[in-house]
Amino acid sequence: MLIVLAGLPGVGKSTLARALALRLGAQWLRIDSIEQAMADATGRAVCGDEGYRVAQAVALDNLRLGRVVVADSVNPLEISRDQWRAVAERAGCRMLDVEVVCSDVAEHRRRVEQRVIDVPGLRPPTWEQVQARRYDPWLTPPLVIDTARVDVEGGVARIIAAL
């Protein structure tokens, strides 16, 4: 099973993904960690979908081993969502799209501006950058978890129920 969490920075994706991976004993693939490691190794910022491609290759390897994979990324473009679907198809497994949102704008902004960074070297986006980010509408409706209305355990429970 491939579970792909998507949503703007600061909505609570990584908190939810970490808790879900722990609960399921799943592999957690976090784009922030992957892209920061790539930047540290090369001395340059990651461009385009490089980090996503690395995560998708690692996801495919783990899915072929029969493992559950939780992918944690903004996943803002329909093309990147299609790439995750292709990974699940190549692995012959099911996939669940989960969009994580924070409907309370003031709370979302607070999280972005007061975010505690646990990936060394990662420079998080500003509130203005989060608001300006391109984010394509979903063509296939995902499971939506609103972290302004449900706590982490409630979000994990909703995802597990959807599986």
Q: pLDDT tier at 6 (50, 70, 90 boundaries)?
A: very high
CA distance 112 to 159: 24
Per-residue burial over 150-159, b if 16 or more Cβ lie within 10 Å, else e, is eeeeebbebb
As assigned by CATH, the class of the 2-162 domain is alpha beta
Q: How many CB atoms lie within 10 A of CB 26?
A: 19
Q: For the whole model, what pTM was predicted? A: 0.95
Mean pLDDT across 68-90: 97
Beta strands in the chain (DSSP E): 2-6, 27-30, 69-72, 95-101, 143-146
**Where in the chain are the domains?**
2-162
Is residue 10 within 8 Å of 130, Cβ to Cβ?
A: yes
163: closest CA among 29, 13, 26?
A: 26
pLDDT tens-digit series, residues 16-73: 999 999 999 999 999 999 999 999 999 998 888 999 999 999 999 999 999 999 999 9
Mean pLDDT across 71-77: 96
